[in-house]
Structure 1
Amino acid sequence: MPTIKRAFLTLSLFAVVAVAQAAKLPDFTALVERSSPAVVNIEATRTAEAALRRGQNIPEEDIPELFRRFFGQPGMPVQPRDRTSTGSGFIISADGEVLTNHHVVDGADQVIVRLPDRREFEAKVVGSDPLSDVALLKIQARGLPTLPIGDSSKLKAGQWVVAIGSPFGYLDNTVTAGIVSATGRRSLDQSQQYVPFIQTDVAINRGNSGGPLLNTDGEVVGINSQIFSNTGGFMGVSFAIPIDVAMNAARQIRESGRVRRGQLGVQIQDVTRDFARSLGLERSAGALVADVVPGSPADKAGIRRQDVILEFNGQEILRSSDLPPLVGATAPGTRVKLRLLRDGKERTLDVVLGELSAPESTAGAGGPPASASGGLLGLVVEDLTAEQRQELGLKADEGVLVSQVTGLAARRAGLQPGDVILMVGRTAVGSAAAFAKATEGVKAGDAVMLLVRRDGQTSFIAVTPRGDG
Structure 2
Amino acid sequence: MRTIKRPSLKTVLKTSTVAGLAAVMLSTGIPAQVTASFAAPVSVTAPQAPSFADVVSAVSPAVVSVRVQSDEPQETADEGGNNFSFNFGGRGFDQLPDDHPLKRFFKEFGGQGGPDAPGGPGAGPRDRAERGGPGANRPHHLRPTAQGSGFFISEDGYVVTNNHVVSDGQAYTVVLNDGTELEAKLVGRDSRTDLALLKVDATSRKFTYVSFADDTKTRVGDWVVAVGNPFGLGGTVTAGIVSARGRDIGSGPYDDYIQVDAAVNRGNSGGPTFDLSGQVVGINTAIFSPSGGNVGIAFAIPASTAKDVINDLMKDGKVARGWLGVQIQPVTQDIADSLGLKEAAGALVVAPQEGSPGQKAGIKEGDIITAVNGQAIKDARELSRRIAGFGPDAKVKIDLWREGKMQDVTVTLGNMASDEAASAEPKQPDAPVPSTSKALASLGITVAPAEDGSGLAVTEVDPDSEAAARGLKNGEKILSVNNRKVATADDIGKVIEQARKDGRTRALFQVEAGGTSRFVALPIDES
TM-score (normalizing by structure 2): 0.71
Q: Post-superposition shift, 1:47?
A: 1.4
Farther-moved stretch of structure 1 (407-416 vs 126-135) = 407-416
Amino acid at match of 2:186: V
Q: Who is 1:159 aligned against? A: 222
* Matched position secondary structure for 1:305: coil
| Shift, 1:106, TM fit | 0.8
Quick one: which amino acid aligns to residue 238 of structure 2? T
Partner of 1:87: 148
SS of 1:95 mapped into structure 2? coil
Counterpart residue number, 2:63: 39
**What letter matches 1:34 in structure 2?**
A
Give the equivalent residue in structure 2 for 1:131: 192
CA-CA distance at 1:130 after TM superposition: 0.6
TM-superposed CA distance for 1:238, in Å, is 1.9
* Distance of 1:236 and 1:449 partners within structure 2: 41
**Partner residue, 2:52:** 28
Contact 1:372/1:436 (8 A) holds in 2:
no
Give the distance between the partners of 2:517 and 2:294, measured in 1 at CA.
Answer: 35
Q: Does structure 1 residue 449 correspond to structure 2 residue 503?
A: no
Distance of 1:226 and 1:319 partners within structure 2: 23
Counterpart for residue 461 of structure 1: 520
Match of 2:182 among 107, 117, 121: 121
Contact 1:409 1:466 (C-alpha < 8 Å) held by counterparts: no
Alpha carbons of structure 1 residues 442 and 317: separation in structure 2 relative to 1, 3 Å: closer
Residue 209 of structure 1 and its aligned partner are, at CA, apart by 0.6
- The counterpart of 2:469, out of the listed 393, 412, 431, is 412
Q: Which runs of 5+ in 1 are unaligned?
A: 1-14, 52-60, 67-79, 387-396
Aligned to 2:113: none
Equivalent pair of 2:70/2:142 in contact (CA under 8 Å): no
User: How far apart, in 2, do the equivalents of 1:216 and 1:165 lie?
Assistant: 16
Q: Name the counterpart of 1:371.
A: 437
Verify the 8 A CA contact 2:428 2:514 in the aligned structure 1.
yes
**Whole-Å Cα distance in 2 between the matches of residues 171 and 467 of structure 1?**
66
Q: Which moved more, 1:370-379 or 1:215-224?
A: 370-379
Write out per-residue CA displacement over residues 135-182 of structure 1, whole angstroms, 9 at most, x where no aligned residue: 1111112211111222223333232222111122x2212222222233
For the 8 Å contact 1:429–1:435, the answer to whether it is kept is: yes
Deviations 1:294-346 (A, max 9, x none): 32222122222232222222332122221111111110111112223223322
Q: Deviations over 1:49-90 (max 9, x none)?
A: 899xxxxxxxxx9xxx99xxxxxxxxxxxxx99461211100
Is the Cα–Cα contact under 8 Å of residues 45 and 84 in structure 1 kept in the other structure? yes
AA aligned opposite 1:184: G
Which residue among 404, 423, 431 is the counterpart of 2:480? 423
Pick aligned residue for 1:188 from 229, 250, 257: 250
With over 3 angstroms needed to count, the CA separation of the structure-2 counterparts of 1:467 and 1:267, relative to structure 1, is same
**Counterpart position of 2:5:** none
Task: Indicate if the aligned counterparts of 1:289 and 1:308 stay in contact, CA closer than 8 A.
Answer: yes
**Shift in CA distance, 225/193, structure 1 to aligned 2, threshold 3 Å:** same
**Partner of residue 272 from structure 2, selected from 212, 216, 219:** 212
Distance in 2 (CA, whole Å) between partners of 1:177 and 1:428 is 57
1:413-444 CA-to-partner distances (Å, cap 9, x unmatched) read: 12222332221122212456644665578889
Match of 1:402 in 2: 458
Count residues in correspondence.
412
Identity %: 39
SS at match of 1:377: coil
Distance 1:315 1:440, change over 3 A: closer
Instruction: Answer whether contact 2:162 2:285 (CA < 8 A) is retained.
Output: yes
Q: Is the 2:286–2:300 contact (alpha carbons within 8 Å) kept by the matching residues of 1?
A: yes
Q: Distance in 2 between matches of 1:273 and 1:363?
A: 24
Q: Deviations over 1:336-370 (max 9, x none)?
A: 12223223322332221111243399895553544
Are residue 101 (structure 1) and residue 157 (structure 2) matched?
Answer: no
Cα deviations across residues 180-214 of structure 1 (Å, max 9, x unaligned)?
2333332312xx21242222222221111100111
Instruction: Check the 8 A contact 1:288/1:307 in 2, yes or no.
Output: yes
Matches within 5 A, 1:221-370: 221-358=281-418, 359=420, 364=429, 366=431, 367-370=433-436
Which letter does structure 1 place at the counterpart of 2:51? D
Q: How far did 1:467 drift? A: 7.1
CA contact (8 A) 2:506 2:522 kept: yes
TM-score (norm 1): 0.79
Q: What do you get for the CA RMSD once the two structures are aligned?
A: 3.1
Q: For 1:24-46, what per-residue CA distance to the aligned partner results, in whole angstroms no more than 9, with x for missing partners?
A: x4321100110011111112122
* Cα distance change on mapping 1:81 and 1:334 into 2, 3 Å: closer
Code of the residue aligned with 2:150 in structure 1: it is: G
Contact 1:376-1:442 at 8 Å conserved across structures: no
Q: Does structure 1 retain, via aligned residues, the 8 Å contact 2:64–2:151?
A: yes
Match among 231, 239, 249 for residue 177 of structure 1: 239
- Choose 426-435 or 224-233, whichever is displaced more: 426-435
Is 1:383 aligned to residue 449 of structure 2?
yes
Counterpart Cα distance in 2 of 1:151 and 1:210: 19
Q: Specify the code of the residue in structure 2 equivalent to 1:413.
A: R
**Native 8 Å contact 1:198 1:241 kept in 2:** yes
**Distance across 1 between alignment mates of 2:172 and 2:429:** 41
